[in-house]
A = this chain, B = another copy of it.
Amino acid sequence: MGPGPSDVSPRVLNAMARPTLGHLDPLFIQLMDDIKSLLQYAFKTRNSLTMPVSAPGSAGMEACFVNLVEPGDKVIVCINGVFGQRMVENVIRCGGEAIKVEDAWGQQTNLNKVEDALKAHPDARIVAFVHAETSTGVRNDAAALCQLARQYDCLSIVDAVTSLGGIEVDVDGWGIDAVYSGSQKCLSCVPGLSPVSFSPRAVEFIQQRQSPVQSWFLDMNLIVGYWGQGGKRAYHHTAPVNSLYALHESLLMLHEEGLEQAWQRHQQGHVKLRDGLAALGMQFAVDEAYRLPQLNAVCIPQGVDDGAARARLLNDFNLEIGAGLGALAGKVWRIGLMGYACKDRNIDHCIASLGKVVR
């Protein structure tokens, strides 16, 4: 019950242990097509360029930036946690200029500040933000931020690592241009894959950009030859075949449950956890209006030793919860209710264990 990797269902683990097929085997290519369709369902998109990057979420982030940022490009980056800051690092390493819009950790990104930045930088090309900030438990207003980006003729890059499968991510409805997620959060797959999706106008930009994409491994112009539509697949790199079996199975499970039902389950789990923590006198670090159900940042009670308490939870109660990061290190714990792990039994165990450790 940390901030991810979340618990993986035995069904997914068993799928992953199937014999390894070749990455150009016709049966495997069929599975790739299924994964694409299932990801389109999860992302609510018809984007043809929708597939998993063969590496963790950080590489998915990098895939979005290296493909969409050219040297000298101005990118407005919203920062209210660790992952907004990591986006800035990506912009700089692509030779771009990051225009930072900063808000306090635990607060939402302020839309007025973003609009001010767009007005002050009419030459900005991209707006980038984190939908669900894993470091703080804050949900940013993705629909409104994407609308602002369109209004000022910018592309949008959205981090949906922790949101996908846990709360609504509406790629087409919100007009997201590039989005990346992670396999190991609310999808409850093993860590190591990063689903991404690019809008037609993002694809058009990538095809026509002036400078080559600086990463060969993440160059979508090349990857599309392997993951693209149609029968013929060209070798680019060797796909992580067994991890893709696992992703396929976890996406099937999401599809069987239904997207809306999965969001509801996360919300119900959050309410149950919230009430249990309130009974223990514990406070949330994030306002309920923009709190993520799947990532609960709670204040460490006064007088409780952060490391010792988490070690006791792990060793005596077989329960992992996450430490605070960056500005919130030592101040909060992060309790994940992600995917397969978001169920009553776990929440009861978490509340009971915390009750023994923090009192």
Q: Which residues of A contact B (CB under 8 A)?
A: 2, 4-5, 7-8, 13-14, 16-20, 22-23, 25-26, 54-59, 61-62, 86, 89-90, 92-94, 182, 184, 190-192, 212-217, 235-243, 246, 314, 320, 325
Judge whether A241 and B190 touch: CB under 8 Å.
yes
The SS class assigned to the A binding surface is loop
With a CB–CB cut-off of 8 A, which chain B residues contact A22?
2, 5, 320
Q: How far is the CA of A236 from the CA of B28 in the complex (A)?
A: 31
A-B contact pairs, 12 of them (CB 8 A): A7-B20, A20-B191, A54-B56, A55-B59, A58-B238, A62-B216, A62-B217, A92-B212, A190-B243, A192-B239, A240-B243, A242-B243
Question: How far is B236's CA from A215's CA once the two chains are assembled, in angstroms?
Answer: 19
Interface centre among A26, A93, A241 (most CB of B within 10 A): A93
Total identical chains? 2
Nearest chain B CB to A68 CB, angstrom units: 15
A93 contacts B214, CB within 8 Å?
yes
Closest Cβ of chain B: how far from A330's Cβ, in Å? Answer: 15
The complex places the Cα of A239 from the Cα of B22 at a distance, in Å, of 24
Give the residue of B20, B25, B89, B216 whose beta carbon is less than 8 angstroms from that of A86.
Answer: B216
Given contacts A17-B14, A89-B216, contact A240 B8 (CB under 8 A): no
Chain B: minimal CB distance from A38 (Å): 20
- Interfacial chain B residues near A213, Cβ < 8 Å: 93
